[in-house]
């Protein structure tokens, strides 16, 4: 429900949004970042120009400029307050552009491991840095040189306002507007029109983007809902995973993100090889992680390894007639289960067989006739679990007794996930590089602030290169185990791809 009054617009968070919001309250768990390294002339990034572009995007995508109010665990709301004028819109955008000095590594480390950048009052921001020169208005305005310089930009948002696809599409739109031939005055005219459309008339005509749960097709009746619950529970019960990284506790979380980029020739060879075996690089990466882990440690060869990844639900959504923003979260999750043993001979044949198995499981998850009801039930389960944990974190008795440990062991098979994979595909399909000739992108890294003991592997192609990165808490695991796994990932890439 979208609630209006003359001074604000609001709606409740859906289950998926709440499942990301509640854990973020203390220290920003799941706050996303997208880092892009690029070359440009200083005038392209003039502060007034950047502020106009950011203001336009924040109007087009209102969740970016919302705040969040929590009334109780079941009533958490996005709140949007109308801007009084174009100037107020521009001022708010400027307040959410942070200028820094430092390297890419320093920026990312500060965002991941330092004090939280975002908050319930700031759901998004831009961070701009030039390593050898403090980037501010006076420097840029006085620099009329035609020379190109290297910059680092970070687009930061909370995860409950969107997902990776929204993040990359937004960066593409940002660079397209920045690099356009429109003067800053012409951008101001666009901003005025966007403001007038939203706030210059009847404010009640404007709506916040609907939640994922509102946009998924609804159950047709009680029987379908009951059948969906049974199917979801059965599908979850079939998941079997007996491998996980040994953890340790005590030290504060510290996230690191080792990243490797393969050159264009090597990338073409890898893609060609995958195509010849009828798999994608994404499917191959599941098998790479499986092989790399079994070379790292294999205490339970009789149990399979289970990995999880995000499932894009945008193709299944009903249209939002009142809002065309792409900034909303629309993901669920699926699992890939592969054998937990490694043969001593013919590892290459085993690898390609497991890559095809990963492809079949991924396709089955995305095209399953029950994908919508399963996603709805998973969203509800995740939302309920997040609310229960939030109550416990806040010191409230949930009234739900924990099952006896012996009963849990006897009734449920092991279902541990080894690692999560974020497989973004070919990002050059999103970034229309020819649309922003005044900006030359060369580096992309993405991730999020993590909880202690978290780990996520990213794989994608960008500017013609294959990139693989591993974001993990270096203080959350048995010493040396993740480093050995990462080395085995790279070695497996060299020997099998």
User: Given a cut of 70, is residue 452 above it in pLDDT?
Assistant: yes
pLDDT of amino acid 139: 46
Q: pLDDT at position 62, please?
A: 95
pLDDT in tens, 298-355: 888 999 999 999 999 999 999 887 788 999 999 999 999 999 999 888 999 999 999 9
Range ranked top by mean pLDDT from 127-136, 246-255, 352-361: 352-361
CA distance 433 to 425: 17
Structure confidence at residue 231 (pLDDT): 76
Q: For position 399, what pLDDT does the model report?
A: 57
> What pLDDT shows up at residue 411?
44
Q: What integer best gives the mean pLDDT of the chain? A: 90
Sign of CA dihedral 172, 178, 179, 182: positive
Token pair, residue 268, equals 């073409």
Percent pLDDT > 90 in the chain is: 76
- In this predicted model, what pLDDT tens digit does every residue of 290-310 receive, in sequence order? 999 999 998 889 999 999 999
Please report the pLDDT score of residue 358 as a whole number: 97
- What pLDDT was estimated at residue 465? 97
The H helix count followed by the E strand count for the chain is: 15, 18
Contact 197, 56 (CB under 8 A): no
pLDDT value for 397: 62
**What is the C-alpha separation between 56 and 77, in angstroms, rounded?**
23
The 10s digit of each residue's pLDDT in 157-191 is 999 999 999 999 999 999 999 999 999 999 999 99
Taking residues 104-117, report their average pLDDT: 96
> Token pair for residue 182?
């429109």
419, HSE (Cβ side, Cα atoms, 13 Å): 30
Residue 306 burial (CB count, 10 A): 23
C-alpha distances (whole Å) from 222 to each of 55, 225, 232, 257 are: 45, 5, 15, 46
As beta bridge partners, residue 299 has: none
102 with 150: CB under 8 angstroms? no
For residues 300 and 304, give the distance between their C-alpha atoms in angstroms, rounded to a whole number: 8
Q: What is the pLDDT of residues 17-76, one digit of tens each?
A: 999 999 999 999 999 999 999 999 999 999 999 999 999 999 999 999 999 999 999 999
Angle between helices 347-367 and 281-296 (to 10 degrees): 130
Can you point out the beta strands (E) in 130-263? 149-157, 241-242, 255-256, 259-262
Residue 12 to residue 494: CA distance in whole angstroms = 48
**397 or 221, higher pLDDT:** 221
- Average pLDDT (103-119) is 96
Q: Is the pLDDT of residue 441 over 60?
A: yes
The yes-or-no verdict on residue 283 having pLDDT over 50 is yes
Checking if the pLDDT of 404 tops 50, the result is: no
For the cut 60, the answer to whether the pLDDT of residue 400 exceeds it is: no
Lowest-confidence segment of 143-147, 364-368, 380-384, 390-394 by average pLDDT = 143-147
192-230 pLDDT tens trace? 999 988 887 655 456 899 999 999 988 777 887 888 788
Per-residue pLDDT at 466: 97
Q: Which residue has the tokens 């669920």?
A: 332
Cα–Cα distance list, 332 to 33, 161, 225, 329, 382 (Å): 20, 15, 18, 9, 10
> What average pLDDT score do residues 388-407 get?
66
- pLDDT value at position 30? 95
Q: From CA 37, how far away is CA 154, in angstroms rounded?
A: 9
pLDDT above 90 for 123: yes
Task: Label residue 5 by pLDDT band (50, 70, 90).
Answer: very low
What is the pLDDT confidence band of residue 285, given thresholds at 50, 70 and 90?
A: very high
């Amino acid at each position: 429900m979208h609630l209006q009054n003359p001074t604000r617009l609001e709606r409740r968070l859906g289950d998926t949004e709440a499942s990301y919001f509640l854990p973020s309250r203390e220290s920003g768990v799941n706050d996303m970042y997208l880092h892009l390294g690029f070359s440009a002339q200083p005038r392209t990034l003039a502060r007034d120009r950047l502020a106009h572009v950011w203001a336009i995007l924040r109007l087009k995508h209102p969740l970016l400029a919302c705040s969040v109010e929590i009334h109780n665990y079941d009533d958490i709301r996005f709140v949007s307050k109308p801007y009084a004028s174009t100037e107020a819109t521009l001022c708010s955008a400027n307040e959410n552009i942070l200028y820094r000095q430092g390297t890419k590594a320093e920026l990312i480390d500060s965002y991941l491991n330092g004090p939280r950048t975002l908050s319930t009052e700031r759901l998004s921001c831009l961070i701009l840095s030039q390593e050898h020169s403090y980037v501010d208005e006076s420097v840029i305005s006085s620099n009329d040189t035609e020379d190109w310089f290297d910059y680092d930009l970070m687009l930061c948002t909370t995860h409950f306002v969107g997902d990776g696809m929204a993040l990359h599409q937004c960066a593409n739109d940002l660079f397209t507007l920045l690099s356009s031939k429109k003067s800053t005055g012409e951008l101001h005219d666009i901003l005025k029109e966007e403001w007038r459309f939203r706030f210059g008339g009847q404010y009640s005509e404007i709506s916040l983007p609907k939640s994922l749960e509102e946009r998924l097709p609804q159950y047709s009746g009680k029987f379908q809902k009951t059948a969906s619950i049974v199917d979801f529970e059965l599908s979850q019960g079939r998941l079997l995973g007996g491998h996980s990284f040994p953890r340790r506790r005590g030290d504060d979380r510290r996230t690191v993100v080792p990243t490797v980029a393969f050159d264009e020739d090597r990338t073409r060879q890898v893609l060609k090889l995958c195509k010849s075996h009828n798999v994608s690089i994404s499917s191959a990466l599941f098998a790479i992680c499986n092989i790399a882990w079994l070379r790292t440690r294999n205490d339970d060869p009789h149990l399979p390894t289970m990995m999880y990844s995000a499932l894009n639900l945008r193709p299944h959504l009903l249209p939002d007639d009142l809002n065309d923003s792409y900034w909303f979260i629309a993901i669920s999750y699926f699992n890939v289960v592969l054998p937990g043993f490694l043969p001593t001979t013919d590892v290459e044949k085993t690898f390609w067989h497991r890559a095809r198995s990963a492809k079949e499981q991924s396709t089955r998850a995305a095209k399953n006739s029950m994908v919508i009801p399963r996603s709805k039930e998973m969203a509800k389960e995740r939302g309920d679990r997040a609310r229960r944990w939030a109550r416990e974190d806040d010191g409230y008795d949930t009234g739900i007794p924990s099952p006896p440990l012996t009963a849990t062991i006897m009734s449920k098979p092991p279902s541990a996930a080894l690692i999560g994979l974020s497989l973004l595909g070919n990002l050059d399909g999103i970034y229309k590089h020819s649309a922003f000739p005044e900006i030359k992108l060369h580096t992309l890294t993405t991730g999020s602030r993590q909880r202690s003991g978290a780990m996520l592997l990213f794989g994608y192609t960008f500017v013609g290169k294959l990139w693989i990165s591993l974001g993990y808490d270096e203080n959350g695991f048995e010493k040396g185990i993740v480093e050995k796994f990462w080395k085995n990932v790279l070695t497996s890439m060299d020997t099998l791809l």
